[in-house]
Amino acid sequence: MLHIDLTILWVIIDLIILYFILKKFLFGRVRDVIARREGQIKKSYDDAASVKADAQALHEKYEAQQQSAQAEAANIRMEAIKKANAEYDRILGEAGDRSDQMIEEAKKKAQAAAEIERREAEEKITDLVKNAAAKLVDSQTDEQMYDAFLKEVEKYKIQELISAQSPDIALGVDHDGAGDQGMMFGYATRESEEMLPLPYVLSTRALQKLRAFNQENDFSLLKPDAKSQVSFDYSAHRIDTFLLSTQHDEKVSLKEVRAIVERIMQETAEELNLNTDFHILVNPTGRFVLGSSFADSGLTGRKIIADTYGGAAHHGGGAFSGKDPSKVDRSAAYMARKVARDIVSSGRADRCEVQLAYAIGVAEPVSLYLDCFGTEKEPAGNIWRSVLDTYDLTPKGIIKSLDLLNVDYNLVSSYGHFGKKELPWEK
């Protein structure tokens, strides 16, 4: 017999009633919410598609504008290049014309100078002729006077060996550029009061003492021609070898020469608180009577190492003496020494070498290099930049700042170009 549990029946009835209630009050609203959500989602998709389409359109517009701008820029660039080329050709033409004018002016100056020299030579010849003729006024006949005159004139020859500077070189110098190309070096060190290498100072001071001795004795024992060289052991800070060769009177023995020179060496070493037990070399050949240009003269110029730092620093190769300050061989070497000395004296480094390089006709140096050998007290780059900011390194600026047109260059005719307090690059 089928038996229905009333509890289950009531549960079923409740579920049915609940279903109808939910259907009436909830399902419809849920469907509405779902429908609204679907609409919103669809609208979002539609909006996104619209935005994407707008972005694509903007991108295409940008691409088109960019292509147009590139084309316009290319046209502008080509037009600018054409104008620049035209301006370059114009400037070059003007420069060529100016250069030709300058060359012509330089030639005229050279010709004028040559004409002046020719006239002076003619005047000298005239004077010679007059003097020769004056000696012949007492001759007996015209023929005799003529022959004697020719013999007298033949004694004299005039050679014109002075010429004007090359107009091509003058082009650069006359417009404040460098008078030559090359490298110049300056050096300074705390080794000595003069801020020069100790071996160099020892050699120089010994020669100066020798000069004083000779002047006191009227050069009766020793003669002017002398040279010195010192080998110095930096690791032990002592003199290894002291060499000095000096010209002497024929009657003076090598023993006498050695006694004089050895005393000078000892005094020089003691002044610098250095050892005196060094190896001594005095006139190693044993005799030095004939000297100077009379006995030993070749084709060399100045002793450029003896004029500078005794080999302790680099040298560009150009002699200083015999050149006016427009030549950077001289003026730039003085300024390089000034810069190096200022760096060391100010305590920024214990040693410093300055290198300057120039191109002919160009005012500013094409290179500036500093080497402080690891002794710098601040970044080397800072020192380098301060040099550029502090010093006028053009030939004109160097001449002006060091007053090189008013220097007594007799001061550098012996014992080097550096270490003398009277010189402006040593102040």
Q: What is the pLDDT of residue 254?
A: 92
Going by pLDDT thresholds of 50, 70 and 90, the confidence category of residue 39 is: confident
CATH level 2 (architecture), domain 198-293: 2-Layer Sandwich (3.30)
Q: Tell me the H-state helices in 177-253.
A: 198-216
Q: Are strands 238-248 and 222-233 parallel, antiparallel or unpaired?
A: antiparallel
CB neighbour list of residue 279: distance below 8 Å, 6 or more residues apart: 240, 241, 242
Mean pLDDT of 301-330: 88
Indicate whether 154 pLDDT > 90. Answer: no
Asked if the model's pLDDT at residue 1 lies above 50, the reply is no
User: Is a pLDDT exceeding 60 seen at residue 337?
Assistant: yes
For residue 425, give the DSSP letter.
G
How far is residue 181's CA from residue 329's CA, in Å, rounded to a whole number? 9
Contact (CB, 8 A) for 370 and 353: yes
Q: What is the pTM of this model?
A: 0.62
When mean pLDDT is compared across 38-47, 79-88, 225-234, 239-248, the lowest value belongs to 79-88
Of residues 276 and 80, more confidence is placed in 276
Q: Encoding tokens for residue 240?
A: 């290894």
Rounded mean pLDDT of 187-201? Answer: 97
Please answer whether residues 384 and 392 qualify as being in contact, where contact means their C-beta atoms are separated by less than 8 angstroms.
no
| Cα–Cα nearest to 354, from 331, 329, 333 | 333
**Strands 367-371 and 238-248: what pairing?**
unpaired
Instruction: State mean pLDDT over 380-391.
Output: 94
Burial of residue 230, with CB atoms counted within 10 A of its CB: 0-12 exposed, 13-18 middle, 19 or more buried? buried
What separation in angstroms does the CA of 13 have from each of 4, 17, 25, 258?
A: 13, 6, 18, 145
Span(s) in the chain for CATH 3.30.300.10: 176-194+309-427, 198-293
CA distance 80 to 330: 45
Sole residue written with tokens 């005159």 = 149
d(CA 395, CA 179): 8
What does the DSSP assignment read for 366-404?
SEEEEE-TT--SS-HHHHHHHHHHH---SHHHHHHHTTG
Residue with tokens 């004139």, as numbered in its chain: 153
Which stretch of 6-10, 25-29, 176-180, 182-186 has the lowest confidence by average pLDDT? 25-29
- Beta pairing partners, 271: none
Average pLDDT over residues 279-295: 86
Q: Enumerate the β-bridge partners of residue 232.
A: 239
Which stretch of 33-47, 179-193, 197-211, 318-332 has the lowest confidence by average pLDDT?
A: 33-47
Flag the least confident range among 176-190, 261-275, 338-352: 176-190
Determine the average pLDDT of the residues in 272-299.
Answer: 85
What letter represents residue 67's amino acid?
Q
Q: Which of 175-189, 285-299, 336-350 has the highest mean pLDDT?
A: 336-350
- pLDDT (tens digit, 9 = 90+) per residue, 363-376? 899 999 999 999 99
Amino acid at 270: E
Q: Note the pLDDT of residue 373.
A: 96
Question: What is the arithmetic mean of pLDDT over 296-322?
Answer: 82
Q: How confident is the model at residue 17 (pLDDT cuts 50, 70, 90)?
A: confident
Q: Is residue 47 classed as helix, strand or coil in its secondary structure?
A: helix
189 with 200: CB under 8 angstroms?
A: no
CA distances from 36 to 8, 48, 170, 221 (A): 39, 18, 95, 128
> What is the model's pLDDT at position 257?
95
Q: How far apart are CA 176 and CA 363, in angstroms?
A: 6
Average of per-residue pLDDT values in the chain: 81
Report how far residue 258's alpha carbon sits from residue 198's, in angstroms, rounded to the nearest whole number. 23
Dist CA 251 CA 63 (whole Å): 103
Residue 352 or 225, more confident: 352
What letters, b where the CB count within 10 A reaches 16 and e where it falls short, cover 253-272? eeeebeebbeebbeebbeee
CATH code linked to domain 176-194+309-427: 3.30.300.10
CA dist 53 → 42, 57, 280, 309 (Å): 16, 6, 100, 81
List the end-to-end C-alpha distance of the chain, in Å, as a whole number: 137
Using pLDDT thresholds of 50, 70 and 90, give the confidence band for residue 230: very high
User: How would residue 165 be classed by pLDDT, with cut points 50, 70 and 90?
Assistant: low
Average pLDDT in the 8-31 region?
69
Q: What's the pLDDT at 54?
A: 73
With 60 as the cut, is the pLDDT of residue 233 above it?
Answer: yes
The pLDDT tens digits of the residues spanning 58-94 come to 777 767 776 776 666 667 667 766 766 666 566 556 6
Give 89-141 pLDDT, tens digit per residue: 665 566 556 656 665 665 666 566 656 666 666 666 556 555 655 555 554 55
**Looking at per-residue confidence, does 277 or 78 come out higher?**
277
Tokens of 79: 């037009």
* pLDDT at residue 70, rounded to an integer: 67
Query: Residue 140 has which token pair?
Result: 């007996």
Helix ranges restricted to H, 139-235: 142-153, 167-173, 198-216
